[in-house]
């Protein structure tokens, strides 16, 4: 699928004006990358769009925004190209188009449908089992979630390959990936040009709130993933089956991870309601908010399920939580979750270019 040429052309027009001005040179990784190029190909615009973290500091500092005749709104122009790049490279493409048209409805319907199926599956509960396995067998969960995890991952690999080729990226080193991971972990591009934070939710207020919220979501998600991974190793390698006590590795990783995920998503959702929608991609606002709430609901229902252990609420909470998790996995390649993978790729490409050019 080809990207929309009008979006690329408008972003190129604005980027060329920014390249001539250079007032925002120290704001984030976008501007050094922009100033390094004499001419901007379509792939360069796509790369810049995925480097952009939409902190909006450049917009509020710009002297060429409306009502100036240049009418610059670079955060919006790059946000629209960025969203279009995810759709253009997503595979299979029909699913990406369907999600663009009805993403919120898809997420809601899938969650309800999967939750109902998991509730019905509890009728086939095993005769034995402890904890959650009293209501659903371990083998059934594995049969459902193994493909639900691996197939979206394969889809993302295909999509990222298309993105990599479209940007004309060359071979990178492990050190470039290391630089990208450090930048992503620190959320360096949300620190602002002088380290005071960004202006995402308010023109006159510099804040690290969005940066900290992103870090909470990132590390919360990684802790939850590590919790599941450690439980898998304990089950299959050491023969230690669930349920696990609070001081076990899965719980020591999963409970803080769930808390960070829930709180981070809640803060991100609140910040989105305070920010100017027209400085992003307005028609995708609802889908982005739905994704943030979906991810936050995964963390919140996981915590609620653990807190409800031993009560009559477990069957319903288990069905809802598993429905949310399955929906999250299946929609990952087409939802805002894809931005994390694309952004890491963009940061890796940028690190390689900085290493090769010294600028």
* Alpha-carbon gap, residue 4 to 1, rounded angstroms: 9
pLDDT given at position 244: 86
Return the structure tokens found at 356. Answer: 């090769």
* Bond into 243 cis (ω within 30): yes
DSSP string, 47-106: HHHHH-----HHHHH-SSSTTSTT---HHHHHHHHHHHHHHHH-SSHHHHHHHHHHHHHH
pLDDT given at position 130: 64
**Residue 207, strand partner residues:** 198
Tens place of pLDDT for every residue, the chain, 359 residues? 578 899 999 999 999 999 999 898 878 899 999 999 888 999 999 999 999 999 998 999 899 999 999 999 999 999 999 999 999 999 888 888 888 888 888 899 999 999 998 888 877 666 666 666 677 777 788 888 889 889 999 999 999 999 999 998 888 999 999 999 999 999 999 987 777 888 888 777 889 999 999 999 999 999 999 999 999 999 889 988 878 888 999 999 999 999 999 999 999 999 999 999 999 999 999 989 999 999 999 999 999 999 998 898 988 999 999 999 999 999 999 998 999 999 999 999 999 999 988 76
pLDDT given at position 322: 93
pLDDT given at position 222: 97
pLDDT given at position 200: 87
**Helix (DSSP H) and strand (DSSP E) numbers for the chain:** 13, 0
Is there a contact between 81 and 59 (Cβ–Cβ < 8 Å)?
no
3-state secondary structure 243-289: CCCCCCHHHHHHHHHHHHHHHHHHHHHHHHHHCCHHHCCHHHHHHHH
- Sign of the dihedral defined by the CA atoms of residues 158, 357, 351, 78, in that order: negative
Residue 130 three-state SS: coil
């Amino acid at each position: 699928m080809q990207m929309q040429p009008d979006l690329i052309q408008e972003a190129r027009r604005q980027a060329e004006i920014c390249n001539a001005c250079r007032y925002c040179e120290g704001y984030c990784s976008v501007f050094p990358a922009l100033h390094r190029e004499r001419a901007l190909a379509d792939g360069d615009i796509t790369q810049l769009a995925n480097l952009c973290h939409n902190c909006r500091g450049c917009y509020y500092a710009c002297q060429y925004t409306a009502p100036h005749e240049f009418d610059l709104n670079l955060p919006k122009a790059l946000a629209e190209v960025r969203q279009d790049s995810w759709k253009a490279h997503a595979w299979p493409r029909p699913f990406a188009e369907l999600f663009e048209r009805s993403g919120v409805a898809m997420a809601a319907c899938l969650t309800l449908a999967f939750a109902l199926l998991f509730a019905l599956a509890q009728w086939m509960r095993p005769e034995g089992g402890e904890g959650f396995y009293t209501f659903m067998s371990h083998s059934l969960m594995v049969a459902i979630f193994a493909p639900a995890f691996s197939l979206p991952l394969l889809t993302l690999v295909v999509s990222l390959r298309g993105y990599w080729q479209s940007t004309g990226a060359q071979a990178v080193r492990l050190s470039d990936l290391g630089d990208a991971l450090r930048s992503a972990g620190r959320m360096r591009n949300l620190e602002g040009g002088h380290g005071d934070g960004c202006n995402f939710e308010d023109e006159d207020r510099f804040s690290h709130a969005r940066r900290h919220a992103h870090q909470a979501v990132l590390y919360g998600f990684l802790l939850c993933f590590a919790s599941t991974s450690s439980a898998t190793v304990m089950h299959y390698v050491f023969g230690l089956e669930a349920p696990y006590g609070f001081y076990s590795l899965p719980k020591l990783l999963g409970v803080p991870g769930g808390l960070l995920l829930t709180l981070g998503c809640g803060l991100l959702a609140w910040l989105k309601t305070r920010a100017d929608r027209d400085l992003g991609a307005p028609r995708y606002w609802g889908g982005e908010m739905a994704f943030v709430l979906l991810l936050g609901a995964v963390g919140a229902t996981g915590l609620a399920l653990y807190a409800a252990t031993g009560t009559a609420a477990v069957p319903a909470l288990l069905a809802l939580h598993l429905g949310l998790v399955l929906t999250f996995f299946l929609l990952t390649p087409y939802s805002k979750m894809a931005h994390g993978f694309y952004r890491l790729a963009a940061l890796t490409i940028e690190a390689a270019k900085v290493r090769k050019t010294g600028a």
